Structure 1
Amino acid sequence: MSVTPEGRRGSRYGRLLRHGFTDPESATRLLDAATLATVRDDALFLDALGATADPDLALVGLVRLIEALEAVDKDAQPLLDTLLRAKPLRDRLLGVLGSSDALGDHLAAHPHDWEALVTYESADLNPGIAEFETALRDVGGPDALRVAYRRALLSIAARDVCGTSDVAQTAAELADLATATLRRALALAEAAAPEDAAACRLAVVAMGKAGGHELNYVSDVDVIFVAEPPAGGAGGRGADAAEDGEQALKAATRLAAHMMRICSDTTAEGTIWPVDANLRPEGRNGPLVRTLSSHLAYYQRWAKTWEFQALLKARPMAGDAQLGYEYVDAVTPMVWQAAERDNFVTDVQQMRRRVVASIPAAQLDRELKLGPGGLRDVEFAVQLLQLVHGRSDTALRSPTTLEALDALAAGGYVGRQDAAALDAAYRFLRTMEHRIQLHQLRRTHLMPESEADQRRLGRSLGYRSEPVTELHKAWRRHAAAVRRLHEKLFYRPLLDAVAQLEAGHERLSPQAARQRLEALGYADPAAALRHLEALASGVTRKAAIQRTLLPVLLGWFADSADPDAGLLGFRKVSDALGKSPWYLRLLRDEGAAAENLARVLSAGRFAPDLLLRAPEAVALLGDEHGLRPRSRVALTQETLAAVGRAEGAEAAVAAARGVRRRELFRTAAGDLIGAYGTEDVAQQEPAEALDRVGDALTDLNAATLAGALRAAVRQQWGDELPTRFAVIGVGRFGGHEMGYGSDADVLFVHEPRDGVSEHEAGKAAFAVATEMRRLLQLPTSDPPLLIDADLRPEGKSGALARSLSSYAAYYDRWSVVWESQALLRAEFVAGDAGLGERFVELIDPLRYPRGGPGEDAEREIRRLKARMEGERLPRGADPTTHAKLGRGGLTDVEWTVQLTQLRHAAELPALRTTRTRVALAAAREAGLIDADDAEVLDEAWVLASRVRNAVMLVRGRPGDTFPSESRELGAVGRYLGYEPGHVGEMLDDYRRVTRRARAVVDRLFYDAE
């Protein structure tokens, strides 16, 4: 039976498809062309095409090469004969053509360069700098250098895609080729300007991947330039020496710039790669070339942590070798002292976070290098461990990532399984990166988007059945391993060092464990090791779960201002709750709960102290809605119910305090976690967060007073007091602006019930008010809620509680202007709501006077404010940083707003509010305060309020000034959004904001021009 042409074609197409071709029609047309007549029927040739990453691309590239050879000398037969008889060449050439369109273009433009792939000697397997220098020695100009560079790149790529070299060897060869190329480029620059070459000694120091012998196919080559006057010069001193040095720097700068252009410029022969000198002192703002002494002066005085991290990879590369080694020898001791710098680990980790944050969101899922679980995570982790332990262990000082990782594992600084997993992931990711760049010889670290490109990439890595699916599966697996190990790499060996569960395997020495903890910011590493031992040792379920949790928790603690406090707090909470099955399950299964706990425990004393008195409140941290403040109604109902169940007034108030303790923790924890911006609590704008805290604390304290009132009444009168009784909040309480350390400023008002005499009612009201104060002042370890009734008529000399009619008579006859001002923030908070409303109606005409307060009253307000500034600021306090009474602080802003309210609230209902920020916004909307001035005042008020809250959260006791102790100051900075090491910036910002606010106050309140 005869086979039709269509059948033969279908059979041939099927064969090509089985060999990996995606366009069998085009492939058939090319194979049938005369150019391939001698090889088209060779089965080994077709198998070799099918073994490439992209057989279609390989075939097109081969046809282009043959056509180019025939165009040059009409003789492509040597190439075709070699393809038939020499498997090494066949695999190399087709492998390169199937992987790199760019190198296919090079061969089409320089067809005889295929002969560079013929050699297959043992020495060819691992060429070094010397071999590459020999290949580039006779290059006569920049374009010739570009061609010779690509020719050398052909052989490196051939060994790579054929598996003759692994990824580490390929990266080292690329670095060696870069070294030889830079040396030849410098020689060309010196030949073009021999007078400059004679006028200086110039050393080119490799940095980054070039310095670490781990270069990409297409990467910037990072360098630093060092120059000195020529050896054996005049040797003069003073002005002559200075002039020699200046001339040497100018000459070296011209040579360096010329060398960079040779490598970076693009011509008809393409480009080599950019030479990047931005790692030099001061970056692109600094001089391109410096003397050795200038470099050292900068590093000794100004360098940041990341600059020492970068210097870990420095090596002499080109130019004056002796000067290059002098530079490296001089900076090396500084590199290994970097881990002793303040905030060392947090500096490095923040730099890593900033890199991730700078990645466009659309590219994050395609990033092989910079994204989470990428190459940079491995490199950063390895470098961090090198810098910590390389101080005392010189075996760790390799600039090459994989060599350093091997050394860390051999020394017991990294678990061997972890090191093996990181090694495998790094090799996989680097191979992906190499193959992606090799295709077009373009600098990229992104997974290609097209399926065809992903298919070629997958096949280049050996995935043949489902290359795209298998590629993504392997990438996800390795990236997940890197993410997991990056989090725990620093911390799990610490647990191995103290848990002592396995005998005979290497673990950190006590000295190395202390070094690591010190670098992580632990001030007392010996105590930290004791805590870790207590938490992680043993074979109980509790210890096993804690060993799983601690590596991540330790990382979060280290990211705080006080890691020691975080770890100690975790031990205390675990000691209290460790036998509760829900506790460990919560931390293990609810990722947000563990991170939230770590943030709270390491952010200061206030919240942890609350938690340790009620450890079961940990459950709030795992509830999706657990950190949202509850309403005043709900809080009051729960408090009154708790009071109702208690036996006796003191037990009742203790029950109310229990509710308050838990709710204080809820509010503080939500505030702290929101300040860190974690996923569970969306980070709010500072002003919104402050308002939320103010409302929550005001509602909570109102509920607590309601509970204390119920307890005091029930103690003597049962369910009903002989007089109606209401508590009026004033000050920050009435303004919904309470902070964590605020007292409850109140007024007590009563109204006799029918048939009760004024005297009897007054006695009862006084007794209730007194009992409320006593109950709330009982000794307790909880944060106190102090009742302050000093704003009542006649102050401390006046009656503690007055009847509504007594208030009316007093305000009608004796009231002074400061009382009208104080009443601006008066609001009912507890007790009889009807009486509270009547009190507010009584005072409205007083606090919102028609026609304003009058000139005399305004003058009195200004006099009182000036007197307060002079008398109430504590002795020795810095007026530029005192949050309440200082320049541009709370009092400045509040009195300015309140004066505006006294003047205009009678006519403008929007100003009739007890809240400072709301009143300020209303004044701005009404045009009473300029928008810019209002913004300045609002910013200062919010900042000063947040400082007071931060001080209470950090120190556990109220304060109006920044702490002097460095850790506490750092913790305040973290709460306010400043990174470690930036407290000076925080103080400068505070002074700037409040200085601007005071200028507005001087104009608006004091009428100063």
Structure 2
Amino acid sequence: MTGALNQQLEQQQRERWTTFCKAVENADLTLSPDTDAARALAGAFGFSEFVSSSCIRYPQMAIDLIDSQDLTCPYGKGQMVRRVTPLLQAAVEAAPDGSPEQLLVPMKAALRTFRRREMVRIAVRDLSGISRLDETTGDLSTLAAAAIDGALEVLYARMCEQNGIPQSTDGRRQHLVVLGMGKLGAGELNFSSDVDLIFAFPSGGESRGGPRPMANAEFFTRLCRLLIQAIGETTADGFVFRVDTRLRPYGDGGPLVMPFDHMEDYYQSQGREWERYALIKADVIAGDRQAGRDLLLRLRPFVFRRYLDFGVFESLREMKRKITAEVRRKKLHGNIKLGSGGIREVEFFGQMFQLIRGGVLPTLQQPAIQTVLDVLAGEGFVPPEVCHELIAAYRFLRNTENRIQEANDQQTHALPTAPLARLALARAMNFSTWEDFRQALDHHRSRVRTHFDGLLATEAEQETGKAADSAAIAGLTDAWTASLSTAERRRILKEAGFSDSDTAATLLEHFKAEPGTRALSGAGRRRMDRLLPRVLEAAALCDDPETVLERVLHLLKQIQQRISYLSLLLEYPTALTHLIRLVGASPWIAAFLSRHPVLLDELLDPRSLYAPPKAESLRAGLARQLAAVPDDDPEYQMEVLRIFRQINTLRVAASDITNVLPLMKVSDHLTWIAETILEAVVDTCWTHLVAKHGRPTCTLDGKPCEKGFAVIGYGKLGGLELGYGSDLDLVFLHAADSGATVGGRQPIDNTHFFARLGQRVVHMLSAHTAAGKLYETDMRLRPNGSSGLLVSHVNGFDSYQMENAWTWEHQALIRARPITGDAALLDAFTAIRRKVLCLRREPGPLITAVRDMRERMRKSRLSAKPDRFDIKEDTGAMIDIEFIVQYLVLQHASDHPQLVRWTDNVRLLQSLSETGIVDSVTAHRLRQTYLIYRAAVHRLNLGERSTLVDGRRFQHMRTFVQRFWQQTMKTS
């Protein structure tokens, strides 16, 4: 059977080619059949009646395609426009006067001639394998855009001649904006597709300067109707593209074209989820490109919410249910676009993630589905193998779609039923038989169907195939929703596991009476009514269920008006499990999540939640995120930085309280986060100022510097001992020459440039935004403290440290290290630090200065209480150890320069031991004591408790430190 069909298919191809050759001969044209282009055209005749009939009817077109090499060579940028422009110009010359309607007749003929040639070219290149899928869909999209834009320009010019130029009320010229939706907007148009268009114009007003002025709305409505006729109307020559405008605001019942303000108001007040879904693929394809980009920016907040939009789950589920129901109702199983496992399901898979996460992850804000799937795999939201399978299936299905439509230039997605047509499709897809092709198609569709079916199923449904509440949940639902007596509510809670059911019942009743809870919308109430019983069930299993419940209810109080967060906890029970675990372990984490609920998304993936990235990964991740943010959007940059810090801090804290990370590693990770952010902040501020003011000239030791700016970290940042709430102690240095910046729009003095740079860095770090703040910064350790310059010249810093600095400033310098900036300047600081710390000092005055400073600090900070011990500030406590270390380094560094290599206390103690200044046993005990103190303070901070503890705790360590202090500082 297959052999006979093969012969029939080959015979059909030969007959079509013979007829074409006769048409060429009759037209007195010359055909070179042995060229690559001619062979490609001949091969396409076997698969496409559209190609063969077009070439037979228009042999001159076919010969031109062969001789021009357009069949074998890809088009360069702008080639489609260059093809259509002279045809449209000839149409204008054919109707030089008269109304736009009179111009339509030659325009339609020109556009259809253009379309015919280019569609034959695209089909031949695709069928012969010369072009791949992305080039084919790109060419089709470019063809549509060139035709629409070319026709629009001609019609707009003719209307302006007749009616004047449309202008805004303030006199600015107005032009139409044409948004391409769906596959056209994404640059993924299929062969015989219609084009979904939305029309808009910037603002109201009227046309001026013509014999018959009209209001802008009337002008552009008429222009749009003319454009639709030019492109979409069927004539004896066919059509260019069928035009569909039903995706516009209000659909068929709405105006054909709208001003920007009205369109924005519509989407913000009445826009529905399916319209968000549709606008994901929107792009400007014709008209005023810049105005169109401005419009899309205005609509972006509607499409991509600036938070993780888990509240869209129900709408997406409804859309998915409609897709599945349509397949059953219309019996679309043979439809490769709409059927089960078809193209639409692949697109829905990617666009679902775009709706939920696109506002937080800018790299998802793009229309091309294959790119979106790559991003999802790269970011870890979807397993890479799933994305690879979906992309492979998508490419196979889209190639099949094009080959089906190229056969007769018909908008169909149904697999052929006739045996010969089936074999032609299989051969066009490079399969020998229909059975081989169908097997590969079914394989791809089966994979798509599996991944599509798994979308939006709750974890419970994925595990059991159904979502059935337990009997315990049913009882706890009554405890939350039913009108029960307090006694009955206590009974249910006690049976569930709350030992102090009185407290639990009171917490529940108070939460129910909260104004925010009472004000929940209908949808919010339904989500809360489902979530609260699950919270109660999970809390009851904890060691201290009432405390956990109190913390979770406090969190819910903060987030309940953002019902998308309630949806997240409902859709992902694992997220709720990790939430209960973390807030039960640490009130600090509970408060942190309450302040930054966007972090709830991090609870979804324990692989990342309990595995904080190291320094290199942090830098790469932040760079990738910032690269997707426009340079002229500092507010968004600050938001990205803040969320980056919050996410990674949560990962460290989660790893900390679950003992995945020891204390020293916790500080390392928190320090890496701060260093990464500082580097990005400095680079961002530098780029902004250089663009405005030009580059400052800087010299160090007679050699030019690259940037001439450096950030020095002091205190806990410098000592690699950052905690969760630590400030950043910073000093800024520069190496500016005298003179002004070079190359900017507004040159300024070099020193002034660095002052502004320092101010912007501090502002970016400490400004409070909707996403919180990055860090509190403390700049008081700079030369002359708060009264000194914010950014010091490196030479002035050197002089100050050598001649004017107090002893306590040299103590601080021990814990200072370069963080980011110009490499030469960082090296210069390191040299200055080494020189200053290695100065020879008299023991007596040094001891007195260190001891006096310690006492002043103790008096200002210590809240002494009988029988209590402050782990940080008391005698024999943590800061005493730090002061001992600082004294010993300052006293002995002149003879032992290796002491100044490190900035953290643990390695400084090790260096003091290695140099013999402190014996190894004492150094070991001091080091262990210091680490134990630090760990205790760290745990107390996580528990949001005071560092004052029972005076009997740490008594042996405290006595040891006091004795060593007295011995070292020679006090009585």
TM-score scaled to structure 2, two decimals? 0.44
Larger radius of gyration: 1
TM-score scaled to structure 1, two decimals? 0.42
